[in-house]
Amino acid sequence: MSDPDGVIDRDALLAAAWRAREQAYAPYSGFAVGAAVLGISGRIFAGANVENASYGLTICAERVAITAAVSAGERRIAALAVVTGASQPTPPCGACRQVLWEFGPEAEVVVENRRGERRHWTARELLPEAFDSGRLA
């Protein structure tokens, strides 16, 4: 998934995110999202968005994937892939950027839409001047 030089296999990570998207529970928005996290061990953890009749309790696909990784002991994230059926490749929401920062400040984020259009950024580009444990001092 990532070779010894740390090059990330974006195709494989995106494929895992597309598979996870099939399990999205999005009856309210109709906006299904899939995500996949690559841990530094090489393991992949995937997730989909899970909505609720109490709308504000919805959990984004990215946070489902990140918490799956962390709860399996994978605390350092090398990359995050996000896929949607939107007309534009969609970057993670602000809350998910903050949660990603906790475990992958050096992570790459790659996103793809239904047309196969991709964009990518670093976590740092998506969350400049981030708040983290270093700010608690």
What are the tokens at 51? 């909505």
What are the tokens at 136? 């608690």
Q: Using DSSP, how many helices (H) and how many strands (E) does the chain show?
A: 4, 5
| Whole-number Cα distances in Å, 49 to 9, 70, 133, 134 | 23, 17, 27, 30
Does 86 interact with ligand THU (rule: CB under 6 A)? no
Q: Which of 96, 100, 111, 127 binds ligand THU (CB under 6 A)?
A: 96
User: Shortest Cβ distance from residue 46 to ligand THU (Å)?
Assistant: 12
Measured distance CA(55)–CA(59) in Å, rounded: 10
User: Which positions from 17 to 56 touch ligand THU by CB under 6 A, shown as an x/- string?
Assistant: ---------x--x-x-x---------------x-x-----
Q: Out of 51, 62, 74, 108, pick the active-site residue.
A: 62
Q: Rule CB under 6 A: which residues touch ligand THU?
A: 26, 29, 31, 33, 49, 51, 58, 60-62, 92-93, 96
